[in-house]
Amino acid sequence: MSAAGTAAAAGELRTHGLAYSAGQRLILSGIECALPGSAVTGLLGPNGAGKSSLLRLIAAVLKPTSGQVSLAGTDLRSLKRKERAQHLAFVDQQVDADVPLSVADAVLVGRLPYRPAYAPETIRDELIVQRSLAQVGLEGFGARRLDSLSGGERQRVHIARALAQQTGVLLLDEPTNHLDLNAQNGVLDLLRGLARGGSTVVAALHDINLTAAYCDHVIVLAGGRVVASGETASTLTPGLIRSVYGVPAVRLDNPLTGRPVFAFGGTDQP
């Protein structure tokens, strides 16, 4: 199948009445949303809104209390774990792996869903690792140790690992955390490039302006519910930001990119 047909082939990722509670505490409820292909969707919301939980539910590492997640009409939980891992890749919030893996070995982990537990990796796996590293701009980094890289480089390695998983859906939790400005833009540019290639990219983000600058779609969560979703330009409004974050905002146009940018007031301003 050609790359041109990818959007259709990826199928639509949807959540249906998704609810999740940890113990007595309700984290998410009634999550009904569509995550379009060939696009970057940003998950926004204040701390504790349930962004990470929603991502983990979609990645099926968390089990929903009720509801389901479907890809092209198929309930993801009805798939075997390995099958599912061939359709969805997940990059968690940066855990500082204190493991002296080389960059190539870290990416090779993404090939686990494609072979039995006892089988060694193949030349094909190795080639895919190289290709994934090239895609994230880390060609030649394979032999470096993971813990010798900068934060931005390390985040790219994690994305390369997700790419090696060869999935149509890429889920990322706070991929720009702890990165400097340049690295933040680099990672998001990379994600946009992948979306343009046909992937469904969903990223939980903290920064409203990064979301406004890079995401095609946005889903805004507050108190465990979806309060708004849709195209970024039309959905992300000063009124929404004020109601969700309690912060007054004005929307400007970024003269350098032409994308919207928000300026915020203090919480005590009228």
**Near other proteins in 141-170, by CB under 8 A:** 142-143, 147, 158, 161, 163, 165-166, 168
**Sole binder of other proteins in the list 66, 77, 82, 239 (CB under 8 A):** 82
Q: Out of 16, 131, 144, 225, which residue is the one contacting other proteins (CB under 8 A)?
A: 131
Q: By C-beta, is 86 or 235 nearer to other proteins?
A: 86
State the Cα–Cα distance between residues 184 and 195, nearest whole angstrom. 17
Place of tokens 């889920």: 171
Determine if 106 is a binding residue for other proteins (CB under 8 A).
Answer: yes
> Of residues 18, 28, 51, 84, which one binds other proteins by CB under 8 A?
84
From the centroid of its chain, how far is CA 54? 11
Distances (CA, A) of 258 to 192, 252, 264: 16, 10, 19
Beta strand 260-264 with 217-222 is unpaired
Given the complex with other proteins, which of 136 and 212 has the nearer CB atom? 136
**99 near other proteins (CB under 8 A):** yes
201 in contact with other proteins (CB under 8 A)? no
SS3 187: helix
Using the 8-state DSSP alphabet, how is residue 225 labeled?
Answer: E
Position among 104, 172, 183, 215 found at the interface with other proteins (CB under 8 A): 104
Q: Does 110 bind other proteins (CB under 8 A)?
A: yes
Contact call for residue 134 and other proteins (CB under 8 A): yes
Q: At what angle do helices 123-135 and 151-164 cross, to 10 degrees?
A: 130
Tell which one of 27, 35, 54, 89 touches other proteins (CB under 8 A). Answer: 89
Please pick, from the candidates 25, 47, 98, 270, the single residue that binds other proteins as defined by CB under 8 A.
98
3-state secondary structure of 69: strand
CA gap 162, 124 in Å, rounded = 16
| Calpha distance 46→206 (Å, rounded) | 8
Q: Which is nearer to other proteins, 158 or 217 (CB)?
A: 158
Name which of 51, 79, 84, 45 is nearest 244 in CA terms.
45
Query: Shortest gap between Cβ of 119 and other proteins (angstroms)?
Result: 8
Please return the burial class of 190, using the count of CB atoms within 10 Å of its CB with bins 0-12, 13-18 and 19+: buried
Q: Nearest approach, Cβ of 22 to other proteins (angstroms)?
A: 10
44 makes contact with other proteins (CB under 8 A): no
Residue 139 as a binder of other proteins (CB under 8 A): the answer is yes
- 113 close to 174: Cβ distance less than 8 angstroms: no
Q: Does residue 109 touch other proteins according to CB under 8 A? A: yes
Binding mask 48-67 for other proteins (x = CB under 8 A): --------x--xxx------
